[in-house]
Amino acid sequence: MTRRRFPGVSFIAGALVLPFVAAPTLGQEPNPIAAQVKAELKDPAKPFTMLVRVQVKEGMQDKFEAAFAKAVKETRKEKGCLEYDLNRDTKDSTRYLVYERWKSLADLEAHLKTPHITALLGELKDLLAGPPEVRVMLPAAE
């Protein structure tokens, strides 16, 4: 389990990842979040969880949640998505946690290229107070 930040990169996951996940620049492969997840997985074909902590700029909570709502609905329809939830901190309304569960790394990689995530990444770059913090987790029995 590694915690990484990606300064200077526009984020949301997927991974929001989630996702808040980084939108790769033209020609950049793989996505930085996908690369991090891949490095931390023993078996990329098995399910995993991503926890993505973000902080939004003060006063941007409503815009952030509205932008995310569109992506949540579409992401939950994706074939490899097991869970995808946005959660707000009870003590600090500018802090959020995105909880993502994916069947495989390939499913996350496909998710990061979807139109709804690409659009979300574009909206979020001006709403976040800093880079997200991504943690990759595996089932304890693995």
Residue 25 belongs to a domain with what CATH number? 3.30.70.100
Task: Please give the pLDDT value at position 28.
Answer: 52
How many C-beta atoms surround the C-beta of residue 91 within 10 A? 5
Q: Report the domain count for the chain.
A: 1
106 occurs within a structural domain: yes
Q: How confident is the model at residue 82 (pLDDT cuts 50, 70, 90)?
A: very high
Q: Which amino acid is at 70?
A: K
21 occurs within a structural domain: yes
142 occurs within a structural domain: no
Task: Please give the pLDDT value at position 15.
Answer: 37
Q: How confident is the model at residue 83 (pLDDT cuts 50, 70, 90)?
A: very high
Judge contact between 47 and 82, C-beta under 8 A: yes
> Domain of 85?
3-137
Q: Which residue's entry shows tokens 């913090």?
A: 133
The pTM of the full predicted model, rounded to 2 decimals, is 0.78
